[in-house]
Amino acid sequence: MKKTFKIITLSTTALLSFTLATQSFAASTASTFTDLDNIVAKDKIIALQQSGIVSGITPELFAPRTTISEAQSVQLIVNALGLNLDLVRFLKEPKANNYFAKSNNDAWYANALIIAAVNGVELPADLDPDKKLTREQFTHQLIRAIEVTGKLPMIKPVVVDIKDQDQINPDYSGSIQRAIQYGVIKLSAEGKFNPNDEITRADAAEELFNAVAYMKAHTAPASSSEALTTAQGVLLIQEVLGTVDTDLKFKIDPNSKLTRESFTYLLIHTLQTSGKLPMIKLVPIEIKDNDQIDTLNSGAIQTALALGVVKLNQEGKFNAKAEISLSDATEYINNAVKTVKGFAE
């Protein structure tokens, strides 16, 4: 998928803390929902509607028994998770078809697709906005979205017996099991999930409500001072540059903590291999603790210093072995973006 180069802030990384937003669709009052009398999730739908998360085909009707399309699913998830682009500044205005080839850049759903992609929501590359979603497809997308955009605690896997397990796509099986554990879905009285049924607006709304409730109860805010793991650092760089050298990525333990020198090397190496940095004449700068820097990382650190991506402290030290925090890593990336933009102008 093609990524658009952008400047990021702490609240647009994979470590986003969850908030329930009330933006996007303009909601009518609960009294306009005139077709919910026989819907089990009536109260949940009204609560979501009052928060501006769901709306109907017309201002009068939610049409709970109507099935939803891929585009409507993305819009609902974006609304429910409070995702937006408020703190993202793009060097080039993004288009929906930058991310999903079949999307229409002028369609009502275009902005939702961009928001979802930028915030790391897992969607199929061949997404068809008009395609109707099944229960298993929607549930998988929703579960992956809350796991990516929020810091959920680890859960002990407990496999639940699903009577129609043989009808579930193996790619979605894990997400559906976790959805049961999160309380996002419940099996029928017969112990079935009916994975291939097209999902209705009412069922989708109920899953959203349950997901929001779970997130509010379990999400922990991300700490800007928390040391990044290699996996988090790679994701952070990839969200901005659109790529990370895969050969390099898999040479490093994804769960290890990133140091200032290892993150700087990863960032500069990615910029160079992606062709975003021009050739520059490097004049080495004296680093007081240069003896602490791994020889393999030395060139990248000197390049980063020359470009203004990183700075030495008042004692002229780089503190290469210190673990890098989310805030410092974000600052490095934003400095790199500004530098590359300067070369391009």
Residues 205-237 have pLDDT tens digits of 889 888 888 887 775 545 556 777 777 777 677
Instruction: Look at residue 237 in the predicted model and tell me its pLDDT.
Output: 75
* Cα(142)–Cα(80) distance, integer angstroms: 10
pTM of the model: 0.56
In Å, how far are 193, 300, 304, 311 from 266, measured between CA atoms? 44, 9, 11, 17
Which among 206, 210, 124 is positioned nearest to 171, based on CA atoms? 124
- Whether 266 and 333 have beta carbons less than 8 Å apart is answered as no
Q: Is 120 left (phi over 0), alpha (psi -120 to 50) or beta?
A: left
By DSSP bridging, strand 89-90 and strand 6-7 are antiparallel
User: 247-255 long-range CB contacts below 8 Å, 24 or more apart?
Assistant: 254/229, 254/230, 255/229, 255/230, 255/231
pLDDT in tens, 246-286: 444 444 555 678 899 999 998 888 888 877 777 777 888 99
pLDDT > 70: percent of the chain: 68
Higher pLDDT, 318 or 243: 318
Kindly state the tokens that stand for 10. 């702490």
- pLDDT at residue 333, rounded to an integer: 85
Mean pLDDT of 324-334: 85
Radius of gyration of the chain (CA): 23
Nearest to 20 by CA among 50, 59, 51, 56: 51
Q: Average per-residue pLDDT in the chain?
A: 77
């993150």: which residue's tokens?
Answer: 263
Task: Tell me the three-class secondary structure of 224-268, residue by residue.
Answer: CCCECEHHHHHHHHHHHHCCCCHHHHCCCCCCCECEHHHHHHHHH
Residue 77 has pLDDT above 50, yes or no: yes
pLDDT in tens, 127-180: 999 999 999 999 999 998 888 777 566 666 678 999 999 999 999 999 999 999
8 A C-beta contact, residue 103 and residue 165: no
